Protein backbone atom coordinates (compact mmCIF):
# COMPACT_ATOMS: atom_id res chain seq x y z
CA UNK A 1 0.00 0.00 0.00
CA UNK A 2 2.74 2.44 -1.00
CA UNK A 3 0.53 5.23 -2.33
CA UNK A 4 -1.84 5.11 0.63
CA UNK A 5 1.17 5.26 2.93
CA UNK A 6 2.28 8.45 1.17
CA UNK A 7 -1.11 9.97 1.86
CA UNK A 8 -0.88 9.02 5.52
CA UNK A 9 2.54 10.64 5.71
CA UNK A 10 1.01 13.82 4.29
CA UNK A 11 -1.64 13.77 7.00
CA UNK A 12 1.02 13.53 9.69
CA UNK A 13 2.69 16.63 8.28
CA UNK A 14 -0.61 18.50 8.09
CA UNK A 15 -1.42 17.68 11.68
CA UNK A 16 1.87 19.22 12.70
CA UNK A 17 0.46 22.64 11.90
CA UNK A 18 0.19 23.47 8.19
CA UNK A 19 -2.82 25.81 8.06
CA UNK A 20 -4.72 26.61 4.89
CA UNK A 21 -4.95 30.25 3.87
CA UNK A 22 -8.05 29.45 1.81
CA UNK A 23 -11.57 30.01 3.06
CA UNK A 24 -12.65 27.00 5.11
CA UNK A 25 -14.94 24.41 3.51
CA UNK A 26 -27.66 1.51 8.54
CA UNK A 27 -26.13 -0.79 6.27
CA UNK A 28 -28.75 -0.15 3.62
CA UNK A 29 -28.82 2.20 0.64
CA UNK A 30 -29.48 5.86 -0.40
CA UNK A 31 -27.60 9.21 -1.60
CA UNK A 32 -26.87 12.87 -3.17
CA UNK A 33 -24.96 16.34 -3.60
CA UNK A 34 -23.54 19.40 -5.43
CA UNK A 35 -21.37 22.46 -5.42
CA UNK A 36 -19.06 23.09 -8.41
CA UNK A 37 -16.88 20.14 -7.44
CA UNK A 38 -17.48 19.37 -3.82
CA UNK A 39 -20.45 18.02 -1.97
CA UNK A 40 -23.69 18.51 -0.18
CA UNK A 41 -24.76 16.17 2.55
CA UNK A 42 -26.33 12.99 1.23
CA UNK A 43 -29.15 13.64 3.66
CA UNK A 44 -29.86 17.03 2.08
CA UNK A 45 -31.85 15.61 -0.83
CA UNK A 46 -34.47 12.91 -1.16
CA UNK A 47 -33.03 12.17 -4.60
CA UNK A 48 -29.68 10.52 -4.16
CA UNK A 49 -26.79 12.55 -5.66
CA UNK A 50 -23.81 10.30 -4.90
CA UNK A 51 -22.68 6.97 -6.27
CA UNK A 52 -20.28 4.95 -4.14
CA UNK A 53 -19.81 3.09 -0.88
CA UNK A 54 -20.14 4.46 2.65
CA UNK A 55 -19.06 3.02 6.00
CA UNK A 56 -21.79 4.08 8.44
CA UNK A 57 -20.81 4.11 12.11
CA UNK A 58 -23.34 2.84 14.63
CA UNK A 59 -21.38 2.34 17.86
CA UNK A 60 -18.07 3.82 16.67
CA UNK A 61 -17.08 6.60 14.28
CA UNK A 62 -14.05 7.09 12.04
CA UNK A 63 -10.95 9.22 12.35
CA UNK A 64 -9.19 8.61 9.04
CA UNK A 65 -9.84 7.52 5.46
CA UNK A 66 -7.23 6.97 2.72
CA UNK A 67 -7.38 5.69 -0.85
CA UNK A 68 -5.61 5.77 -4.20
CA UNK A 69 -7.23 6.76 -7.48
CA UNK A 70 -6.29 6.86 -11.17
CA UNK A 71 -7.77 9.78 -13.11
CA UNK A 72 -9.88 8.61 -16.05
CA UNK A 73 -10.44 10.26 -19.42
CA UNK A 74 -13.62 12.33 -19.07
CA UNK A 75 -15.93 13.71 -21.77
CA UNK A 76 -18.45 16.51 -21.30
CA UNK A 77 -22.02 15.36 -21.86
CA UNK A 78 -23.86 18.65 -21.31
CA UNK A 79 -23.04 22.26 -20.34
CA UNK A 80 -21.70 22.27 -16.79
CA UNK A 81 -21.48 18.50 -16.44
CA UNK A 82 -18.84 17.01 -14.17
CA UNK A 83 -17.53 13.81 -12.67
CA UNK A 84 -16.04 14.40 -9.24
CA UNK A 85 -14.29 11.57 -7.37
CA UNK A 86 -13.58 12.00 -3.66
CA UNK A 87 -13.09 10.41 -0.26
CA UNK A 88 -14.19 11.90 3.00
CA UNK A 89 -15.67 11.74 6.46
CA UNK A 90 -19.32 12.58 7.22
CA UNK A 91 -22.00 13.68 4.75
CA UNK A 92 -24.24 10.63 4.96
CA UNK A 93 -27.24 11.56 7.11
CA UNK A 94 -25.46 14.50 8.75
CA UNK A 95 -24.71 18.13 7.99
CA UNK A 96 -21.01 18.32 7.10
CA UNK A 97 -18.52 16.68 4.73
CA UNK A 98 -14.72 16.77 5.21
CA UNK A 99 -13.37 15.75 1.81
CA UNK A 100 -10.60 15.75 -0.81
CA UNK A 101 -10.82 14.77 -4.44
CA UNK A 102 -10.45 15.26 -8.16
CA UNK A 103 -13.11 17.11 -10.14
CA UNK A 104 -13.63 17.44 -13.88
CA UNK A 105 -15.80 20.53 -14.36
CA UNK A 106 -16.93 21.07 -17.96
CA UNK A 107 -16.88 24.26 -20.00
CA UNK A 108 -16.78 22.72 -23.50
CA UNK A 109 -13.82 20.61 -22.35
CA UNK A 110 -13.24 19.10 -18.89
CA UNK A 111 -10.83 20.81 -16.50
CA UNK A 112 -9.21 18.28 -14.16
CA UNK A 113 -8.59 19.84 -10.74
CA UNK A 114 -7.51 18.70 -7.27
CA UNK A 115 -9.48 20.22 -4.39
CA UNK A 116 -10.53 20.01 -0.76
CA UNK A 117 -13.63 21.14 1.08
CA UNK A 118 -15.08 21.38 4.58
CA UNK A 119 -18.70 21.43 3.40
CA UNK A 120 -20.80 23.58 3.75
CA UNK A 121 -17.87 26.02 3.60
CA UNK A 122 -16.63 26.87 0.13
CA UNK A 123 -14.59 24.54 -2.05
CA UNK A 124 -10.84 25.13 -2.38
CA UNK A 125 -9.39 24.33 -5.81
CA UNK A 126 -5.65 23.64 -5.65
CA UNK A 127 -3.95 22.59 -8.92
CA UNK A 128 -4.59 21.06 -12.33
CA UNK A 129 -4.09 17.33 -12.88
CA UNK A 130 -4.30 15.07 -15.94
CA UNK A 131 -5.94 11.83 -17.13
CA UNK A 132 -3.78 8.86 -16.23
CA UNK A 133 -2.26 10.50 -13.15
CA UNK A 134 -2.15 8.36 -10.00
CA UNK A 135 -3.50 10.13 -6.92
CA UNK A 136 -3.17 9.42 -3.18
CA UNK A 137 -5.85 10.97 -0.95
CA UNK A 138 -6.31 11.20 2.82
CA UNK A 139 -8.68 12.81 5.33
CA UNK A 140 -7.99 12.49 9.05
CA UNK A 141 -9.29 13.90 12.30
CA UNK A 142 -6.33 15.01 14.45
CA UNK A 143 -6.74 16.84 17.79
CA UNK A 144 -9.72 18.99 16.88
CA UNK A 145 -8.66 19.61 13.28
CA UNK A 146 -9.16 17.77 9.99
CA UNK A 147 -5.99 17.06 8.04
CA UNK A 148 -6.76 17.07 4.30
CA UNK A 149 -4.04 15.76 1.98
CA UNK A 150 -3.76 14.86 -1.69
CA UNK A 151 -0.69 14.02 -3.76
CA UNK A 152 -0.37 13.52 -7.50
CA UNK A 153 2.07 10.63 -7.51
CA UNK A 154 2.72 11.12 -11.23
CA UNK A 155 3.94 14.74 -11.22
CA UNK A 156 4.59 15.34 -7.50
CA UNK A 157 2.09 18.16 -6.91
CA UNK A 158 0.39 18.04 -3.53
CA UNK A 159 -1.50 19.91 -0.87
CA UNK A 160 -1.55 19.30 2.84
CA UNK A 161 -3.79 21.46 5.04
CA UNK A 162 -5.33 21.51 8.49
CA UNK A 163 -8.91 22.81 8.79
CA UNK A 164 -11.49 23.34 11.54
CA UNK A 165 -15.12 22.29 11.43
CA UNK A 166 -17.21 25.07 9.81
CA UNK A 167 -18.56 27.61 12.27
CA UNK A 168 -21.87 26.60 13.82
CA UNK A 169 -21.57 23.01 12.58
CA UNK A 170 -20.77 19.72 14.31
CA UNK A 171 -18.44 17.41 12.37
CA UNK A 172 -19.43 14.00 13.74
CA UNK A 173 -16.89 11.69 12.03
CA UNK A 174 -19.56 8.99 11.86
CA UNK A 175 -19.18 7.95 8.21
CA UNK A 176 -16.31 7.32 5.79
CA UNK A 177 -16.88 7.20 2.05
CA UNK A 178 -15.51 6.87 -1.48
CA UNK A 179 -17.80 8.69 -3.91
CA UNK A 180 -18.56 9.73 -7.49
CA UNK A 181 -20.58 12.92 -7.76
CA UNK A 182 -22.24 14.82 -10.63
CA UNK A 183 -23.11 18.50 -11.02
CA UNK A 184 -26.50 19.19 -9.39
CA UNK A 185 -26.73 15.52 -8.49
CA UNK A 186 -27.51 14.36 -12.04
CA UNK A 187 -25.44 16.25 -14.68
CA UNK A 188 -22.73 13.60 -15.01
CA UNK A 189 -19.88 13.68 -17.52
CA UNK A 190 -18.93 10.38 -19.15
CA UNK A 191 -15.69 8.70 -18.08
CA UNK A 192 -13.62 5.62 -18.68
CA UNK A 193 -14.14 2.94 -16.04
CA UNK A 194 -12.07 3.80 -12.98
CA UNK A 195 -12.18 3.29 -9.23
CA UNK A 196 -10.58 3.58 -5.84
CA UNK A 197 -7.86 1.20 -4.72
CA UNK A 198 -6.22 0.56 -1.34
CA UNK A 199 -9.19 2.10 0.47
CA UNK A 200 -8.71 2.05 4.22
CA UNK A 201 -10.55 3.64 7.11
CA UNK A 202 -9.47 3.86 10.74
CA UNK A 203 -12.24 3.83 13.32
CA UNK A 204 -12.31 5.87 16.52
CA UNK A 205 -10.64 3.03 18.47
CA UNK A 206 -7.74 2.79 16.00
CA UNK A 207 -8.95 -0.36 14.22
CA UNK A 208 -8.38 -0.44 10.44
CA UNK A 209 -10.92 -1.61 7.89
CA UNK A 210 -11.73 -1.69 4.21
CA UNK A 211 -15.24 -1.28 2.85
CA UNK A 212 -16.61 -4.10 5.00
CA UNK A 213 -19.51 -4.06 7.48
CA UNK A 214 -18.65 -5.01 11.06
CA UNK A 215 -21.65 -6.31 12.95
CA UNK A 216 -23.29 -3.64 15.08
CA UNK A 217 -20.18 -1.38 15.10
CA UNK A 218 -20.64 -0.06 11.56
CA UNK A 219 -22.55 -0.92 8.39
CA UNK A 220 -21.79 -0.59 4.69
CA UNK A 221 -24.12 1.43 2.42
CA UNK A 222 -24.16 1.31 -1.37
CA UNK A 223 -25.46 4.57 -2.86
CA UNK A 224 -26.57 5.25 -6.46
CA UNK A 225 -27.52 8.59 -8.01
CA UNK A 226 -30.16 8.35 -10.73
CA UNK A 227 -31.29 10.27 -13.80
CA UNK A 228 -34.73 11.64 -14.64
CA UNK A 229 -35.89 8.16 -15.64
CA UNK A 230 -34.94 6.79 -12.22
CA UNK A 231 -32.12 4.66 -13.62
CA UNK A 232 -28.55 4.78 -12.20
CA UNK A 233 -26.15 7.21 -13.89
CA UNK A 234 -23.24 4.92 -13.06
CA UNK A 235 -22.82 1.39 -11.76
CA UNK A 236 -20.54 0.04 -9.05
CA UNK A 237 -18.46 -3.09 -9.24
CA UNK A 238 -18.33 -5.49 -6.34
CA UNK A 239 -15.73 -4.68 -3.69
CA UNK A 240 -12.61 -6.86 -3.76
CA UNK A 241 -9.39 -7.42 -1.80
CA UNK A 242 -10.86 -7.25 1.71
CA UNK A 243 -12.71 -4.02 1.00
CA UNK A 244 -9.85 -2.14 -0.65
CA UNK A 245 -10.85 -1.91 -4.32
CA UNK A 246 -13.91 -1.18 -6.47
CA UNK A 247 -14.77 0.52 -9.77
CA UNK A 248 -17.26 3.04 -11.17
CA UNK A 249 -18.78 2.28 -14.58
CA UNK A 250 -20.42 5.14 -16.50
CA UNK A 251 -24.02 4.40 -17.51
CA UNK A 252 -25.73 7.65 -18.46
CA UNK A 253 -29.49 7.47 -18.06
CA UNK A 254 -31.64 9.26 -20.65
SS3 readout for 4-69: HHHHHHHHHHHHCCCECCCCCCCCCCCCCCCCCCCCCCHHHCCCCCEEEEEEEECCCCEEEEEEEE
Cβ-based neighbours of 123, under 8 Å, separated by 6 or more:
25, 35, 36, 37, 38, 115, 116, 117
Question: Residue 110: which domain range?
Answer: 2-250
Q: What percent of the chain has pLDDT over 70?
A: 80
Q: Give the pLDDT of residue 40.
A: 55
Whole-angstrom Cα distance, residue 68 to residue 242? Answer: 15
Can you tell me the mean pLDDT for 61-86? 97
Q: Give the pLDDT of residue 154.
A: 98
In CATH, what number is assigned to the domain containing residue 145? 2.60.120.700
Q: Give the pLDDT of residue 230.
A: 86
Q: CA 155 → CA 24, 37, 74, 233, distances in Å?
A: 26, 22, 19, 31
pLDDT category, 41, cuts 50, 70, 90? low
Can you tell me the mean pLDDT for 107-119? 96
Bond prior to 120 in cis (omega within 30° of 0): yes
pLDDT category, 227, cuts 50, 70, 90? confident
pLDDT category, 39, cuts 50, 70, 90? low
Can you tell me the mean pLDDT for 120-125? 97
Whole-angstrom Cα distance, residue 244 to residue 144? Answer: 27
Give the pTM: 0.85
Q: Give the pLDDT of residue 70.
A: 98
Count of alpha carbons within 13 angstroms of residue 218, beta-carbon side: 27
Can you tell me the mean pLDDT for 139-153? 97
pLDDT category, 35, cuts 50, 70, 90? very low
Can you tell me the mean pLDDT for 107-114? 94
Q: Give the pLDDT of residue 229.
A: 83
Per-residue pLDDT reduced to its tens digit, 241-254 = 999 999 999 996 55
Q: Indicate whether 45 pLDDT > 60.
A: no
Per-residue pLDDT reduced to its tens digit, 160-174 = 999 999 999 999 999
**How many Cβ atoms sit within 10 Å of the Cβ of residue 13?**
14
Q: How many structural domains are present in the chain? A: 1
Q: What are the b/e assignments for 38-61, b being 16+ CB within 10 Å?
A: bbbbbebbeebbbbbbbbbbeebb
Cβ-based neighbours of 18, under 8 Å, separated by 6 or more:
160, 161, 162
Amino acid sequence: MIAAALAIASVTSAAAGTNSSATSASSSVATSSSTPAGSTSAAASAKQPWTGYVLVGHKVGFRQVTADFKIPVVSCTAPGSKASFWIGLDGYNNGTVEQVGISTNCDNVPEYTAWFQMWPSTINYQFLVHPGDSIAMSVAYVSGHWALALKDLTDGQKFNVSEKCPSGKVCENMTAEAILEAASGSNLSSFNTTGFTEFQAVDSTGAKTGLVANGDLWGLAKVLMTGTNGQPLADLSTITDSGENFSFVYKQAT
